[in-house]
Amino acid sequence: MKIAVIGSGNMGGALVHGWCKAGLASQLTITARSQCTLDRFLGLYPQLTATTDNVQAVTGADIVFIAVKPWLVDEVMDQIKLPLRASNALVVSVAAGVRNARINVYAMPNIAVEYGAGMTFIEELDRPSVLIDEVVRLFSLVGKVQTVPHKQMDAGMQVSGCGIAYVMRYVRAMMEGGVQLGFRPDEARQAVLQTMKGAVALLEESGRHPEEAIDAVTTPGGYTIRGLNAMEDAGFTASVLAGMKANEK
């Protein structure tokens, strides 16, 4: 199967890295505006096919991933419409919020796909297809996948696509707090990241609700409950909810 990825920037590049690490380099044809960008990928994954020509990339492709900036999608689709028509390729958009009649599948991954730890939402479709099943499989190779109805895709963008940045902002704040309390920055970073990993592992392995897990480490009158209450007084939960609803329609 030939897979074309149009655009190798942040999102497209993360997918390329993830799929190459999963052993798919020989199936991938990728594009970028700059040959320097393509050379960096070829240096890491010489089995790739790389070109600055979008038409060449999609010719004969089975699945085409559109991973350019949202405002460039129409321009790219106009460029490649003839070879797409000839090959009858399945077109998948990972450009945030972009759907149109020429796009078959809309997916919203996040950049952790580069490390096999992504979270991808795929809009449910009412037409079963072997190629659509293949799209789900491809995203499953680089993380978790959920198929959801159209009305939940924007929520998926906030929880996952934008949400990874929200989590990183929390990590940054925790690191700053650790430095203020006396750790060196590298020590604070290591401690915070390991604590995050531990929290995720605990919730995944135990199946507990976060509040139940919080209760397990919160003793009456202790440090944890004082810290939690101070965060809530400063608007922690309200701030998170406000951020997630900032683009609500």
pLDDT at 129: 78
Whole-number average pLDDT of the chain: 93
- Distance CA(178)–CA(122), nearest Å, equals 38
3-state helix, strand, coil in the chain (%, to 5): 55, 15, 30
| Cα distances (Å, whole numbers) of residue 157 to 52, 76, 161, 214 | 29, 23, 5, 27
Residues of the chain with CATH 1.10.3730.10: 164-244
Residue 146 Ramachandran class (φ > 0 left, ψ -120 to 50 alpha, else beta): beta
pLDDT in tens, 127-186: 667 888 999 999 999 999 999 998 899 899 899 999 999 999 999 999 999 999 999 999
**Could you tell me where in the chain the CATH 3.40.50.720 domains are found?**
3-161
b or e along 194-230 (b: 16 or more beta carbons within 10 Å of the residue's beta carbon)?
Answer: eeeeeeeeeeeeeeeeeeeeeeeeeeeeeeeeeeeee
How many Å is the Cα radius of gyration of the chain?
21
Strands (E) located in 13-155: 28-31, 49-51, 63-66, 90-93, 105-108, 118-123, 143-148
> Per residue in 19-55, pLDDT tens?
999 999 999 999 999 999 999 999 999 999 999 999 9
CATH homologous superfamily of 3-161 equals NAD(P)-binding Rossmann-like Domain (3.40.50.720)
pLDDT at 125: 76
Give the helix/strand (H/E) hosting 236: helix 236-244
CATH topology of domain 164-244: ProC C-terminal domain-like fold (1.10.3730)
Q: How many CB atoms sit inside 10 A of residue 238's CB?
A: 10
Q: Pseudo-torsion of CA 57, 59, 65, 70, nearest 10°?
A: 80
* Rounded CA separation 233/239 (Å): 11
> What's residue 247's pLDDT?
79
pLDDT computed for residue 20 by the predictor = 98
Report the candidate in 164, 185, 165 with the shortest Cα–Cα distance to residue 174: 185
Tens digits of per-residue pLDDT, 90-130?
A: 999 998 777 766 788 999 999 999 999 999 999 987 666 78
pTM reported for the whole predicted model = 0.91
Pure H helices in 160-221: 163-180, 185-206, 210-216
pLDDT value for 165: 95
Between strands 105-108 and 90-93, the pairing is parallel
Closest CA to 14 of 41, 36, 35, 33: 41
Tell me whether strands 90-93 and 143-148 are parallel, antiparallel or unpaired: unpaired
